């Protein structure tokens, strides 16, 4: 079987969203197109990678073939098109390995279709926390699982924005924190040298000349400048990439 075009639009494209430039998903995995990652197969995704919409559609089509084949192999009972669509979307989102080892699959193969909604709702966490986007996706998968030809699931009603990747802050940056600590200690040393020079020099000009000839002061100043540059570089990268 193949995933139906309406299911691809409602279950996959609406929830994955289309990104033509690589980004980091909530699990910090490099992702592009309609949720494509290197784990799904070629192309390998890397930071800064860009593709066209046609390439995104082609990649999705190629990826779906693998998940469709996996569901065909793993499921031992007869499924309706909508049920097949639901399991393909689940595998696409959670992974083939997750489907293979899940109680969800065991319930399906046992013919206990009524248990599927409960099992689907167990898969709503990412990074150890419940993600609203996953909750909504599971809810729509349940609606699709239970859908008959007379029960239409409106794509507009299921439109969702992927959960943004959690952005790290400078407080979580080891390099940034180390730079701040280093700059703090160096600043204390520089202030001591300035204070000592102020006591020995008669005027401001003499103080400046003395400081410029003071090796300790120059070293401390260089350390402060270098630490500030490291902190700025880390902040710029984190603001841009979140890593």
As annotated, the active-site residues are: 16
| CA gap 75, 170 in Å, rounded | 47
d(CA 241, CA 243): 5
């Amino acid at each position: 079987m193949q995933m139906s075009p309406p299911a691809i639009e409602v279950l996959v494209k609406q929830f994955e969203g289309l990104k033509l430039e690589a980004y980091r998903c909530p699990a910090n995995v490099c992702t592009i197109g309609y949720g494509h990652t290197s784990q799904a197969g070629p192309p390998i995704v890397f930071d800064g990678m860009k593709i066209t919409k046609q390439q995104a559609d082609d990649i999705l089509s190629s990826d779906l073939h693998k998940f469709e084949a996996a569901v065909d192999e793993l499921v031992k009972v007869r499924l309706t098109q909508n049920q097949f669509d639901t399991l393909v979307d689940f595998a696409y989102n959670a992974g083939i390995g997750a489907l293979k080892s899940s109680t969800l699959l065991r319930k399906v193969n046992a013919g206990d279709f009524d248990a599927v909604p409960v099992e689907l709702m167990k898969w709503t966490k990412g990074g150890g926390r419940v993600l609203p986007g996953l909750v909504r996706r599971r809810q729509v998968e349940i609606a699709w699982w239970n859908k008959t030809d007379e029960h239409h699931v409106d794509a507009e009603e299921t439109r969702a924005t992927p959960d943004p990747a959690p952005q790290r802050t400078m407080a979580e940056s080891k390099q940034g924190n180390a730079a701040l600590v280093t700059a703090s200690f160096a600043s204390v040393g520089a202030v001591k040298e300035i204070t000592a020079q102020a006591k020995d020099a008669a005027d401001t000009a003499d103080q400046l000349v003395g400081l410029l000839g003071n090796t300790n002061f120059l070293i401390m100043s260089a350390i402060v400048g270098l630490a500030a540059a490291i902190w700025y570089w880390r902040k710029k990268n984190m603001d841009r990439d979140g890593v």
